[in-house]
Each structure stands twice: as C-alpha cells, then as structure tokens.
Amino acid sequence: MSHAASHDQHDHHHALPPFWKRMFTTSNHKDIGTMYLVFALIMLLCGGSAAMVVRAELMYPGLQLLQPDFFNQMTTIHGLLMVFGAIMPAFTGFANWMVPMMIGAPDMALPRLNLFSFWLLPFAFSLLIASVVMSILGMGPAPNFGWTFYAPLSTKFGPPSTDFFIFSVHLMGISSILGAINVIVTIFNLRAPGMTLMKMPLFVWTWLITAFLLIAVMPVLAGAVTMMLTDRHFGTSFFDASGGGDPVMFQHIFWFFGHPEVYIMILPSFGIVSAIIPAFARKPLFGYSSMVYATASIALLSFVVWAHHMFTTGLPLAGSLFYMYMTMLISVPTGVKVFNWVATMWRGSMTFEAPMLFAIAFVVLFTIGGFSGVMLAIVPADYQYQDTYFVVAHFHYVLVSGSLFAIFAGAYYWLPKWSGHMFNETLAKLHFWSSLLSVNLLFFPMHFVGLAGMPRRYADYSMQFADLNFWISIGGFWFGASQLFFLAVLFTIRKGPKAADKPWDGAEGLEWTVPSPAPYHTFEVPPVVK
C-alpha cells in the first residue's frame, strides 16, 4: 500500500500543471503562500512608487511637481498600500508557507477558505489603485485624507472615490479575518504528535497571537467604515457634529483598531527574528517561555493604549495619564524581547549571512523606533511632536527597519527551502548594506525636522527645513533603488547552486527535515516530536 501510495504521489508531483494555471484552483498552502508573497511584493513596489512621488515633491521647498491635492492622494495611497497591501499579506504568505511545515501539518486546516481569503485581496486593491488611475486620467480625485481617513475629511469632504476605498477596506478585512481563523484552527488542530504549545517555534506562537488580534479588531474597522458610508449617503450623523455626532469618536473607534493593527504588523517579525538569531548564533533562543509570555502581554496591552494617538484632542487628564502609563508599560515586554535576542547572540559562534544581517539591523533599528515611541507617549512632550515629522520618523523606523527588514530576513532565510537553490550572497549583502545606509539617511533626519516643528502631510514647507529635506529625499530614492537588488536576487535564484535540506547549519525545526525545495505535499505521515 505504501509503495503504491508513494508511486501515486510521485506521479501527482510530475503531473502538476504550471503555477499560473493552478493558482485559481489550488488549495495547497505553499502555492497560496507564494501568491501572497508575490502580491505583497507588487504592492510594495506600488506603495514605494507613491512614496517616491511624495519625496520628489518634498525635495525642495515650494510647490515643485504636484498639486497639493494630488500630493495628499499619494500620501494616502502610500500608507494604505504599505500597511494593508505589503506588510500584512507578506506575513500571511510566511504563515501559509511556514506554519504547517513548522508544526508538522500536511496543509492548512481550511484550504479552500485559504484560497478565498487570498483572492479577495487583488479585487480589494484593484479598487484602490483604480481610484488613483482615475485621478491621473482626470476623472476625479483618489482618496486624499491620509491612511487614517479621519472624519469629517473622509465623510463630509471626501471625494466620490471614498466609496471605492470603503468597499476595498471591507474586502481586506474579510480576507484578514478568514486568514486568521485558518491560522488558529491549523495551530490548534493539526500539530504533530508530541508538539505541545510550549514546543512550538516562536514564529508559530507570534502568528497565533496575531491571528487573535486580527479577529478582535478587524470588525471594529469594518464598523468604522460602515458608519462612514452611512454618514456619506444615508443621512446619519455618527461623526458629524452638526447632527449630534462626534468626529473625535471616529478617532477612538479607528485607533481601537489601529493600535492593535501596528502590533499585528510587528509580532510576526518578532517570530521571524526569533528563528533567525538562534540559527546564526548557533545557540538555543534565550528565554523561550518569557518570549511567549512577552508576546501575549504585548497583544493584551495593545488594546488599552489606543488613545495615545489622541493626546491633543482634549482627553480628560485622567484619560491622558492612563494611556501614557499603559504605553510606557508596553515597552517592558518589548524590552524583554530585545534583551533575549541580545542574550542569544552573546558568546554565540555567529556568522553573518544575509538573514542574520537583516535580523541584527532589525533589533537595533526597531529599538530606536521603540525609544522614539516612548518619547511620543509622554503627554506634555506629545504636544510638541504631534503631527510632525517626528511621528513619521518613529513609525517608519518600526515599520520599515522593523517589519520590512524582518520580511527580508525571513525571505533570505527560507528562500533556499522554498526554491531549492541558494541565492546570490553578494547581491543579498549589497541589498542589505544599501538598504541599511539609505533607510537611516531617509528617516533619521525626520526626527530633527519634526522636533523643529515641520508638520506631516503638507506638500510645502518653510525654508528652514530645506537642507534636511533634500537629504531625506536622496535617502528615499536610494532606499527605493536598493530594492532592485532584492528583485535581482529573486530573478537570479534559479541559477544558484542546489540548496541542502538544511542550508544553515544552526537552523532548528521541522521545516529543515524535509527536502529542498519543499515537496508539494509535506508531512502526509505526521512526524513525531520528541
């Protein structure tokens, strides 16, 4: 029986239709993972292009290239594509590929739902991108109210394309919820015998906790955009003060989603880095259980910090103090994590391949982003920083040199397993060094222009900020161009040498027990975890 089954399996493997044919019907977690990753890459390039347009305008003072309204459309679309189109789908791609392999499962628990949750995304984002194309063709403006779409900017004063945006957010939200349900069910039901919860790799843990966050907050976002829709078209006044509503309530609802959302975008990165650092330090991760507890406490605390985005909206003093202290408190588990990563590297026999370089850069730069976050959490100081470039510097340090660097680290770490080839190390290192230098030239000076009072989301600025903005824009174009190295790595990987089953000698985990490239069906007989 087993011989026949293996023979049948062999035939099946050979008879696979090409990827572009099976992508509409496949329910295999590896195919769907690849689709998510490719989609995230395309969105990264689209969102990056919008950022290049923004930086081109801001290179010199005075209105250079764009009308202010189009500038606002570019900042909005950049934020939306990067958050919902690049970072989140990339992590979902990693989850699809790696979670079943890490827990010894044959596939995701709900394979068809998995495919459905992917195919919602291209439709959602084509709506958003269509509104920008229409704007370029002169058919009315794209959404122009920033990615936070505050009422009344988006309700009373939003362009007609706002409805596209509302529909798009609904589709993204459905996709996220379905994806999260799938991850939870997979982790709880399909773990290999012997794999207890506290034996799971940290990447699986971080994704499990992220999935609960997604299920908790995506309906809140859906509620906010539905109220926007009814305010726009059906005569309600949820956020309109003239009808008895409250525009500040919108901010409360949005940030109740928005702050857990930023942890949704960073927790999987913690998981990736917690896989990579032990592999290249050749030591077990220091303080595994404390990492699990720290991740869970970050997720719980993320629900009680939302109003730190709103210190200047006139919160009562007791409210401001509560949110300030809670925000300070969330830095403690994050500090535990950073300590554990550094302790893992301490006296390890480290080598510095591309995944490790990105992981170390992640730890250092994410910590800088964390420190500026603690500065922003101090209420009296926040009155100075609010809505300046200091805020932009803070969250880009966390989301670019944090989330995006972790995505690059994870991609380089698992590419040999996915493709069966080793990538070009020289290109990968060029990608790293070029990205590292440019990302700091791009975002570090923003702290200074922000402290000096340069406001966000303006197409023009006063002369005093001209010198620094010139260098920020140079950093921006350089960082954008650095990503061509990554594309070069992806396009040349087929030419690389064959990858071993375990290409990194310090790597641990079930995914390294299967051949490279990973077979189409893995773990049909579940492995036993000792």
What percentage of the chain carries pLDDT values higher than 70? 97
Residue 33 scores a pLDDT above 80? yes
pLDDT score, position 2: 42
**What pLDDT sits at residue 381?**
97
Backbone angles phi, psi at 53, to 5 degrees: -65, -45
pLDDT at 142 over 60: yes
Within-domain flag for 404: yes
Average pLDDT, integer, range 379-404? 97
Given this model, what pLDDT does residue 356 score? 98
Position 1 pLDDT exceeds 60: no
| pLDDT digit string, tens, across residues 199-243 | 999 999 999 999 999 999 999 999 999 999 999 999 999 999 999
Radius of gyration of the chain (CA): 23
CATH of the domain at 327: 1.20.210.10
**Short-list 36, 165, 33, 136, CA closest to 518:** 33
Instruction: Identify the sign of the CA torsion 226, 36, 184, 16.
Output: positive
Domains identified in the chain, total number? 1
Residue 522 lies in a domain: no
pLDDT given for residue 14 in this prediction: 60
The answer to whether position 521 is within a domain reads no
pLDDT for 6 beyond 50: no
Q: Does the pLDDT at position 13 exceed 80?
A: no
pLDDT tens digits for range 408-449? 999 999 999 999 999 999 999 999 999 999 999 999 999 999
Question: Residue 1 corresponds to which tokens in the numbers above?
Answer: 């029986």
Residue 131 pLDDT > 80, yes or no? yes
What pLDDT does 503 receive? Answer: 97
Checking if the pLDDT of 4 tops 50, the result is no
Q: At residue 352, does pLDDT exceed 80?
A: yes
Please check whether residue 53 lies inside any domain of the structure: yes
Answer whether residue 73 is part of any domain.
yes
Instruction: Classify residue 523: in a domain, yes or no.
Output: no
Q: Domain residues for 233?
A: 22-513
Beta carbons within 10 angstroms of residue 92's beta carbon:
31
Question: Does the pLDDT at position 35 exceed 60?
Answer: yes
Note the pTM of the prediction, 2 decimals. 0.96
Is 345 a residue whose pLDDT tops 60? yes
Q: Is residue 5 part of a domain?
A: no
Q: How much is the average pLDDT of 39-44?
A: 98
The answer to whether residue 10 scores a pLDDT higher than 80 is: no
Confidence band, pLDDT 50/70/90 cuts, at residue 331: very high
Q: Per-residue confidence at 170, pLDDT binned at 50, 70, 90?
A: very high
Q: Active-site residues: which are they?
A: 78, 107, 147, 175-176, 259, 261, 263, 274, 308-309, 334, 337, 456
CA 183 – CA 208 distance, rounded (Å): 7
User: In whole numbers, what is the pLDDT of the chain averaged over residues?
Assistant: 96
Residue 422 in domain: yes
Rounded to the nearest 10 degrees, how much is the dihedral formed by the CA atoms of 433, 434, 436, 442? 160
Average the pLDDT over each of 3-12, 419-428, 480-489 and give the range with the smallest value.
3-12
For 57-90, letters b (16+ CB in 10 Å) and e give bbbeeeeeebeeebbbbbbbbbbbbbbbbbbbbb
**Region 316-323 average pLDDT:** 97
